[in-house]
Structure 1
C-alpha cells in the first residue's frame, strides 16, 4: 500500500468527529483531480482493467447493471468478493484511501421480490412498503451493494409509458407517503447500519409527462403544475432524509433536466435545502449533446455542474473535461468542491469509511426465508385488486377449477420489470400455488390448444383465465401505443365466455389497461399486476377466500387508449362541467368520457355502506384542525378490509385546482355487521397549493370534503377556511 499520510494525520478516519468535520478534513487534502475523480461513476467496474484508475482515485462510484436499460435483461449478478477486491485497491492502494460507492437497481426486491411498485401502491399501505424496502436492503447488502436507485416517484396519468410499473401511481399524497416509507425502509434511522442501503429518489422531475408516453421524450409543463403535482413526492423523500436524487432524462419546456439549474440547484438544493447527491441518469450528461443544447461533452459537463448534477453516471464527461474547465476559468472550482463534498458526505453517512460495507460487517446469506416469503405473500395479496365480482369468487369449497392461460407455469415473468437478482426457480407459480391449495380440484392448462381448453372448461365449475402482459412491455423503453390486451388473448376470453359458465379473469400487468371488453366478458376480474416471488400463493389465497382482496387502483383505468389522459388530475375548464351530464354524455362524438375504472376502485368479498360525512367544526382556522368523520358498515356476511378514502375540492382558488384530490385514507378491518366511525384530522395546510407567484398559499373560503370507496363514488360536506396565508 502506498500512502503519504500516517494514520495519526488522517483525521477524516476518526469516527468520533462529526460528518462535516470529516468531510472538511478530507477535502483539504484533495487536489482538483482528486475531487473530479469522486464525481466519476463507471458501470461494472473491473478490478483488473480499472486497477490503475482506482489507485489514482479516478473512480468515485460504480453501478452494476447489464446496460443502459438494465431492467430488461439480466446480468451475472454481483459478487461481493469482487467488490471487496475493488475496495482494497481503492482504499488500500490509493493516496487518500477513499472507498468506492457501489450501486445497483434494487427496485422492488433483491431475492425476495415483492410486487412491482405500482402493485405495492395498490395496497395503500405505507408500512407494507417500508417492510418490503427493508427486506430488499437487508438482502442486497449481502452482495456488497450500498446504494439503490429507488424509489421512483414520477407522477403519471400516462399508462402507455412503460415506467408507470415502477411508480406509486397518479396521486401525489399517496406517492408522497409511500416515498417516505420506501426511503425509511431502505435507509432506516441510520443508513450506515450494515443492513441498510442509500436510497435515490428518481426521476427529478416531470418524467411521467413524457410526450405520447414515449420514454426519453420531451415534457411541456409549467412550474405551477410541477409544484402542485410532480414535485410533491420528491419533497417528501427529501424531508425523509433520502441520500440522493436522480435527474430525469426528459427536458422540461426545452431545458434538459441534466442542465436545469433552476429546478436542480435553485429549487431542490436551495429552496428545499437538499444536502445529498444529485446523480445523473445513465449517460444523462452526454445526452445534453444529443438534445442539441450542448455542442460537445465539454460544454455538457459545464452545463451539468452549473445546474447542480454532482455525480456523472458513465458518460465520462466530468472526468475528461471538468478539471480543464476549472483550470481554464470556465467553471468555478467552488462548484466542484460542493459536488465532491456531497459525494463524500454520502459515503460517510453510509459508513463506507468505517467498514460498513466490508466483509466483516455485512449480513450473511440472502436467499428467501420463511419470513421474507411471508411478507412477499402478504404484499402479493394486498396488491390484488378485485375490480368486478358477479359472484364467481371466492371459490366454493367443492368447486372444480380450470386454471388456464400463458402464465400458469410462469415464475420469472411474474417477478415483473426491473428484477436483477430474483430467481425464476424461487417463484411460486400460479399452477403450484393453486394446486397446493385446491389439490385435485384444479386442472391446469396453458391454453396452447384452444379446443382442448374449451373441453376442459365445459367440465369445470369455474374457469380462471390468466391474461396480461409480459414484463418486457413494462419498464424502461417499453412504451405501447395500444392499451388492449396483447394479440390473441381477447379471442381466448371470448371463446371461454361463450360457454356461459363462471369465468374469472386475472390480469397480470405493469400498467393500467383497456379492460372494457374483459369486464363485459368475465364474471369476475382481478388486476394482479406482476406480484413477485409469491405470485401463486397470493393468487390462491385470494381465489379461495383465505384472504379477502382489498387492493385499490393507484391509477385510473381509461375506457380506451384514445381517452388518455384521464385521471384525478382533471381540473375545471371554462366550460362548466356537470358531473351528472358531461362525464357521461361526454366531449367526444364517438365515446363517453368517464374512466372505465376510477382511481381508488376495488372490491372486497363483502359489501360496505358509507354514511354521509360530517365535520366536528364547519369553520377552520390556520392554527386549528377539524375532524372529518364517516360511518362505514359491513353489510355483508364476510369480514373485510376497506380502504376508506377522503378527498377534497377547492372550488375557488387563484389557479385551477383538481375536481377531486386525494386527501387521506384509512385501512379499516370490519367484521360482518360491524359499523365503525372512521376519522380524519384535517388542518388548513392540507389545502395549500402554489399560486400564480409560485408561492405556497392557503385561501380563505369554502372547501368541499368528500368520502367514499373511490374517486367516483363520493358524498360531500362543506367546510369554511376562515383565514388565508401566503408562504414565502
Structure 2
C-alpha cells in the first residue's frame, strides 16, 4: 500500500485569494514542498529540439485525438489509421477509454494497445522520434482500467473525499490511482476536479471537493501530491491536471456547460483559491472549462487563460482544452464565424498548448493555414510545444522505453491494501444527517429482523456513479437505468450484501425491491405486508447513474414516486425507518425527511461503500463525515451556499459542515495564547503582515463511543465595505478522541484570514471587529490593515 505518515504542507496566503492556507491547519503534519516536483523553466535540450522541428511536427504535438479514430468496434487497433495520423499529422496525444462493445481492458491490455500506438508513431519519418502522451479521466481510481482479474481499485468520488475532511485519504487514493494508471502505460490523468459547485443542480457536483474554497484547496493539493510526487523521476507517478479553469461549477441555469454569470470578485475570492493551491502544489497540467463567463468563452479568453492563469497565478505547466472546445467557439459559443477563426482566437489570444480536437484533424489543418497566412506566429507555437515536450520529458516518455507499461506495477493492481483505502475513505465520508431518538446504530437486542427496500440497495452501480468503468457508469442502458454490475467482476459489496455479512449474530436481513429508481411501484403491496414481520426498515433511494450532460435535470427533487413510497412505508408500518441516500448531488427530500427516523447520506462511496454503510448502520463504524456543501430544503434553492452574503435569505435543510456522530463532542475553553476570551477587558488585535497568534479549543468526547471529530474554524467580520459572508472556513482538523477523553486543537491566526477583493478589485482588509467561530465557541478580535 502506498501510504503516508504525514500529509501536506499548507502553503502561505497566495496573492489572488482570500483563503489563508497555513502550516498547521490540519491534523496530519506537513511535507515540505521541495519533496515534490513542479513544472518550471524549459530545459535546453527541449529548446534545441524545437529549433530543428518542422512546423507540421510542432502543430502535431499540439493535437490530441480520441482513441476511436484508431480503435475499431471489435477492439482491434487500426494500424493504418495510427500510421496516417503519425505520418501526416504528427499527432502528439491520444485520450479516452479503450473499450469495445462494452468490454473493458485491464492494465496489461491497455499497455499493449498503447505500446502498439507508440511503436507505430515512433516508426514514421520525423525529425525526432517523439512518443504520444495518453490521457485518461481517472478521477476516482484508475476506473477505466477494468477487466477480470485485474480490476483497478475504484474509490469514492471527490464529494466523498470532501465529506471525510481527511487530506490523507485524498493523498493515498490519488497515489494508488497514479500507480494503477501508470501500470496501463498511461502517464497523464485529467484530475483533480477543482470546480466549486455553486449550483446543486449541476450534474458534476460529485466530482468535486465541495462548495468551500479552503476545503477544495487542501484536498486538491493533497491529491496532486499523490498523483505526481516526484513525477520527473518516479515512474509510479503521473502528471495531474487541475480542471476546469475557471467558474465551471456555477452555470446560471444549473445545466452542464451552460453560461456562467458571475462577478470578478466572486471568481477571485471563491473560484481561484483551489486552482492557486494546485499551482503552488506543483500541478503539471491544467484544463480550461467548457463555459463562457458573462458571455466570454473561457477557451478564447486572454483575461482568464493568460492574464489570470499565467501572469497573476504563475502557472508554468501545460494547458489543454476540454473536449472540442476550440471548435465550439464556432459551433456552440458562436463567437467565431469559421473554424479557422476559432483556432486563431484560441491560440493567438490565450496560452492554450494542446487542442483536445478530438474527432478529426481540423485543428491541424486550420493551424497550418493560419501559419502560412502569418496570423499565428512561430514563436507562439514554439512556446506551447516547449511546454508539451517538457511534460513528455518530465514523465519519462523521452527515455528509452519510457513509454512502456510496467509489469511490476500491473501485478499490484487491485490488491487488498488498496481496497482497504477505498473502504476507509467510504467509512470516513458517510454523513449522518438525522438520528431521531438515537435509532442508530441498530440495537441487536431489539432489532432482530431488518427489511431493506429500494432501487439503490442491491447493486454496485448506484454506489459508484458515473465515470466508473464507462463514461456514463456501469449501465447497459443509461436512459432506462438498467444496471450492469457484471463489469465489476464481483469487486465490491452492495448494501444488502454488506448488511447481511455485517449483521450481528441473531440479526436477519432481507431485501425486497419495492420501487425502481424512477419511483415506479414494483411490489410495494407485498413489501408493506412483509414489513409486519420486521423490526426496522432501511430504505435506499437516490439518483440514476450519470455523468456530465446526460445528468442534466430540471428539478432537484428526488423523483416523486420515491418520495411517495417512503411516505407510504412510514404511514403503513410502525417500525423505525432509516433512509440511505445514494446521490451525486443533494436532491430535495420533501417529506422523506420527516418520514425518516434517521437519514444517512452516502453520496457515491464506490463499490465497497455497501460494507461501510452496513458498518455504520450496525454501529461497527462511528460516522464522522460532514456535509461538504449546503443541503437545500427547497427545489428553488439550487444556488444556496454557506458563504452567501450575510444579507441573503437562508433556510437550508442542513448547513455546510453538519454531520452527526454516535459520540457526543463538547467544545469548551477556547483560548488565545493562554487567555480566556470571557475574561478579556479589551479585545486583542491582529495586524496585517507578520502578526499572528494561536487559538486553541478543547473537545471532550462525553460518550461511551470512540469517535473522530472534524473541528472547523470559521471566521466572520460583521461589518466591512463589501457585504460580508455569514462565515468562511479557514481551517480544519480531524481528530480521533477516545470515549471520555479530551483533545486540544490549535489553529494559527493572522489578519490575512479576513482579506477579500474590494471595491477596486484589489485585495483589502477592513479595520474592525472580527469573530473566530469553532463549534459553539466564539472568540472576538479586532483586525487592522
Provide the TM-score with structure 2 as the length reference: 0.83
**How big is each residue's C-alpha offset from its partner over 1:17-60, in whole Å with a ceiling of 9 and x where there is no partner?**
x9612211211211111111100000005233121321456201
User: Tell me, what secondary structure is at the counterpart of 1:225?
Assistant: helix
1:32 lines up with 2:55 in the alignment: yes
**How big is each residue's C-alpha offset from its partner over 1:512-531, in whole Å with a ceiling of 9 and x where there is no partner?**
12124222001110000111
Aligned to 1:258: 299
1:347 lines up with 2:412 in the alignment: no
Distance 2:512 2:310 in 1: 56
Contact 2:199–2:249 (CA under 8 A) maintained in structure 1 = yes
The alpha-carbon deviation at position 534 of structure 1 amounts to 0.6
- Which residue of 688, 702, 712 corresponds with 1:645? 712
Contact 2:259–2:291 (CA under 8 A) maintained in structure 1 = yes
The alpha-carbon deviation at position 500 of structure 1 amounts to 2.4
- Which residue of 585, 604, 615 corresponds with 1:541? 615
Within 5 Å, give how 1:136-535 maps onto structure 2: 136-290=177-331, 291-306=333-348, 307-315=350-358, 316-354=361-399, 355-359=401-405, 363-365=409-411, 367-390=413-436, 391-398=438-445, 399=447, 400-420=449-469, 423-424=487-488, 425-438=490-503, 441-447=508-514, 448-472=522-546, 474-498=547-571, 499-535=573-609
1:59 lines up with 2:91 in the alignment: yes
Contact 2:184–2:406 (CA under 8 A) maintained in structure 1 = no
The alpha-carbon deviation at position 672 of structure 1 amounts to 2.2
Contact 1:165–1:417 (CA under 8 A) maintained in structure 2 = no
Distance 1:434 1:94 in 2: 60
> For structure 1, which segment, 655-664 or 396-405, has the greater mean C-alpha deviation from structure 2 after superposition?
396-405
Segments of 5+ residues of structure 2 without an aligned counterpart are: 1-40, 71-78, 143-151, 475-486, 515-521, 676-683
The alpha-carbon deviation at position 695 of structure 1 amounts to 2.7
Contact 2:665–2:702 (CA under 8 A) maintained in structure 1 = yes
Distance 1:550 1:121 in 2: 12
Aligned to 2:678: none
Distance 1:485 1:230 in 2: 28
Change (3 A) 1:208 1:556: same
The alpha-carbon deviation at position 304 of structure 1 amounts to 0.5
The alpha-carbon deviation at position 655 of structure 1 amounts to 2.7
CA RMSD of aligned residues (A): 2.2
The alpha-carbon deviation at position 224 of structure 1 amounts to 1.3
Contact 1:653–1:699 (CA under 8 A) maintained in structure 2 = yes
Distance 2:624 2:323 in 1: 38
Aligned to 1:114: 155
The size of the alignment, in residue pairs, is 680
The alpha-carbon deviation at position 287 of structure 1 amounts to 0.4
The alpha-carbon deviation at position 343 of structure 1 amounts to 0.9
Distance 2:416 2:440 in 1: 28
Contact 2:231–2:239 (CA under 8 A) maintained in structure 1 = no
Change (3 A) 1:295 1:410: same
User: Tell me, what secondary structure is at the counterpart of 2:217?
Assistant: helix
Distance 1:356 1:683 in 2: 47
Distance 2:208 2:461 in 1: 21
Distance 2:165 2:119 in 1: 44
Segments of 5+ residues of structure 1 without an aligned counterpart are: 1-17, 578-582, 584-592, 709-713
Within 5 Å, give how 1:27-106 maps onto structure 2: 27-44=50-67, 46=70, 47-56=79-88, 58-65=90-97, 79-95=110-126, 96-106=128-138
Aligned to 2:27: none
Distance 2:157 2:746 in 1: 30
Distance 2:440 2:646 in 1: 39
Distance 1:186 1:536 in 2: 27
1:601 lines up with 2:658 in the alignment: yes
Change (3 A) 1:66 1:595: farther
